[in-house]
Amino acid sequence: MKFLRIAIAVLALSTALIAYWPGAWNAASAQDVAPGTSAPEFPGGAQWYNSPPLTQGALRGKVVLVEFWTRECINCIHVLPHTKALYDRYAKDGLVVIGVHTPEYDEERDPDALQAAIRRYQITWPVVADNDMRIWNAYANRFWPAVYLIDQNGRVVYSTIGEGNYDETERHVRQLLGKA
């Protein structure tokens, strides 16, 4: 009988959670920038590393991987080698990787600490410091790490959150680059 009461409580809690956060059980679809949507612009005024400021207009004709991360997020750190592998493998074919560093905590806003993290993790692709969460909000993003793929016409065609989905992400990159 006790087990039945616990099971009912868990079911009620799960139902409430799904009602409150519909993407809770399907995290890959939890983002609000839907496939086919024009990619949001990178607002001006943010500090860029490894590159001058980039715009969606200047990126037309390229396949763009936008990765939201923060330097203190262990899941973000785990994803970095996979992002690096994609960058190393496909940059020569037209893939542009942009790291959007959106701090979760106040101490992550420190530009010197961000610069040190970029060096420590050997990030050579462009990184923009999104300290005011303008890019985060433009994408309606809610998770670290999160990856968005943008096609040559500036449309979001794929997104994924968290660790994993590396093969699927690469498959999409290859398809967009005509290497499928």
Same domain, 88 and 129: yes
Same domain, 43 and 113: yes
132: containing domain: 31-176
Q: Where residue 98 falls among pLDDT bands split at 50, 70, 90?
A: very high
Same domain, 80 and 9: no
Q: How many structural domains does the chain have?
A: 2
Same domain, 19 and 48: no
CATH of the domain at 160: 3.40.30.10
Nearest residue to 69 via CA among 3, 1, 128, 138: 128
Mean pLDDT of the chain: 86
Same domain, 148 and 81: yes
How much of the chain exceeds pLDDT 70, in percent? 82
pLDDT in tens, 62-85: 999 999 999 999 999 999 999 999
Same domain, 11 and 37: no
For the entire predicted model, the pTM comes to 0.82
Same domain, 100 and 22: no
Specify the pLDDT at position 89: 98
pLDDT in tens, 6-57: 444 444 444 433 333 333 333 443 446 777 889 999 988 899 999 999 999 9
- The pLDDT of 105-114, averaged and rounded, is 96
Give the strands of the sheet with 63-69, arranged side by side: 48-49, 127-129, 95-101, 63-69, 146-150, 156-161
Distance CA 80, CA 100 (A): 12
Specify the pLDDT at position 32: 60
